[in-house]
Every structure is written in C-alpha cells, then in structure tokens.
Amino acid sequence: MRLLKGLFAILLTLVFVALVAAGVVWFRAEQIIGARVQLPAIAFSADGGDPARGAHIAGSISGCTNCHGQNLAGGPLIVAPAMAILYASNLTKGSGGVGERYSDVDYERAIRHGIRPDGSKLMIMPATAYQFMSDQDLRDVIAFVRGSPPIANATELRRIGPVGHVLIALGALPFAADKVDHTASHPAAQAPAVDVAYGRYLAHIAACFDCHGPNLAGGHYAGPHDVPAAANITPGAIGSWTLDDFKLTIKTGRDPSGHVLDSFMPWRSLALMSDDEFNALYAFLRSVPPVSPQK
C-alpha cells in the first residue's frame, strides 16, 4: 500500500513537471511568434514597375508562384496539425486577398523584411533571399502582383501545433524576419549582365543560399525532414559540369549522373530562366570556393 502511494506520488510529480515544462515551452514559443518587429521608417514607391519583368522574377527566378500559385490566390502550404497549418497568402485584390489594402511600403516590408503591416513575422516566406532584391526588381514584382486578376480565396488561417511550438521554442524554426538585417540598404537597380556579379545577385534572390547553405556546399537548411538534403553545388562537387550539363539538369530535373531531382528543388520554375540568366548563374557557381563532397 505504502509502495503504491509512493509510486503514485512520483507519477503525480512527473506529470506536474511535464505540464510545467510544456507550459514553459508554449509560453516561450508564443513570445517568439507574437513579437512585433519595429522597422526604421521606410520610404518606398512602386511607381514605374514593369509587370512583364515582374512576372518573370515571380514565376521563375524568385519562385513566388511556387507557393502563392500561378494565379497568386494562395492556398494551403503546410497541413500537418501537430506541426502547423499554414497558407500562402492570397496576394490578389479578391476577397480574402491582401491586394486591396497593401500599400507600396506594405509590400516592401513583407517581401524584403518578412513582416506584416502590424509588425508580426511571416512564416516560411523567404525574405532572407528577397532582402537582396533591388528597388527596381521589387517595383516590377509589385506591378505584376497588382495587375493579377482578383480571386476570392480565404487564406488567413494560421495555426501552430505543439510540435511547431517546441521547434520554435528551441530556435529550430527561425523566422526570416529575425535573420534579415533590417537596416541594410538596397541597390536601386541591378542591370542584367552575363557575369559573376549578376549571377551572384540571381543566386541571392532565387534563394539558392537558403537551401544550399551559406557556402553552397549543401545540407539540410530548409524544408521538412523527408526531403533530401540540398546538394553541394560548389566546384568541389559539380566542377566537371559544363554549362550545358547545368542547364539540362535544371531544365529537365535530371542531373548528368541520371539522378532525378526531388521537387523540393524548384527546378521547374528555374527552368524558365533566360539563357543569359543561366550563363550568369553558371559563371557565379564556378567562381565560389570549392568544397569537397563529404565522404
């Protein structure tokens, strides 16, 4: 009897400790999720944007349409209740979309800083990549978004489940807004050219670094755990690839060794890049320090 009572007391204590721990984790995660980011005052005008160039950036290089849809009406991106329920926002002027109320500055803040007009932090949206976008390219993207036909679609629901809370509390699911340098200045324009500098620019706004890592040596930097690690794309690994090998890999989703690329690698949208863009990107990839593949 006494033994049973003792066990029961231990069990109660364990349950109590577990509940307190869960409470602390939940509270910490909510603090991180709910924190508002105060930005320095931003002046930005989207006047003079070219919607056709914006469509190319959004549909190919920066892959906005991969998440927000070809029609930009958004939709479910993650539906895993334990983890999160997350929709890519409806960017059109239809009901449920942000198009009607977003100002030029609101777009700038969301795209280059990862922050909503109320200061809250956007999830998954790769502002870490778009922080490098030039003013002119951003204007073009905004012109394209504004010109898209209005579509009604409710995408506001965002729920973060228990696993999501634990990951956020542990810092394993960082928000782009917490990684972007909000005080950095942006280039006014980045003139297209077939050279290393423009290739580097493309690699930035195409989020190559977000997935392939800061030195492009590959690893598991983004996405769910069941997608393969991003490949090493330094000359240490793909140094023997010709320009045609590189182009063909991205255009067909199959590399020179016959490996079929997982669809998490956005090759279908990158495949729409122009020849000059492929050349510039290839020149840049050749120029980065080689990292040997891990044995």
* Residues at the site binding ligand HEC, with contacts judged by CB under 6 A: 58, 62-64, 66-68, 77, 86, 88-89, 91, 98, 107, 110-111, 116, 122-126, 130, 141, 145, 158, 203, 206-208, 210-212, 222, 227-228, 230-231, 233, 238, 249, 255, 259, 261-262, 264-266, 270, 281
User: In the complex, what is the shortest distance from the CB of residue 137 to ligand HEC, in angstroms, rounded to a whole number?
Assistant: 9
Task: Please spell the DSSP secondary structure of 230-258, one letter per residue.
Answer: BPP-SHHHHTT--HHHHHHHHHHSB-TT-
Structure-token pair, residue 118: 């109320």
Query: Which amino acid is located at 153 in the chain?
Result: N
Residue 270's nearest CA partner among 215, 233, 236 is 233
CA distance linking residue 175 with residue 178, whole number of Å: 5
**Min dist. Cβ of residue 170 to ligand HEC (A):** 19
If you ran DSSP here, which 8-state letter would residue 44 be given?
-
Smaller CB distance to ligand HEC: residue 169 or 209? 209
Name the minimum Å distance from CB 188 to ligand HEC: 18
Nearer to ligand HEC by C-beta: 6 or 81?
81
Q: Which of 1/125 has CB closer to ligand HEC? A: 125
Residue 27's contacts (CB-CB under 8 Å, 6 or more residues apart) are none
Q: Looking at beta carbons only, is 16 or 221 nearer to ligand HEC? A: 221
- In the complex with ligand HEC, the residue whose CB is nearer, 10 or 203, is 203
The pair of three-digit structure tokens given for residue 239, joined into one six-digit string? 């140094």
Output 2 or 147, the one with its CB closest to ligand HEC.
147
Q: Dihedral (C-alpha) 68, 74, 77, 80: value to the nearest 10 degrees?
A: 170
User: Nearest approach, Cβ of 236 to ligand HEC (angstroms)?
Assistant: 11
User: Which residues are paired to 124 by β-bridges?
Assistant: none
Nearest distance in Å: CB 190, ligand HEC:
15
Shortest Cβ 43–ligand HEC spacing (Å): 18
Bridge-based pairing of strands 75-80 and 84-88 is antiparallel
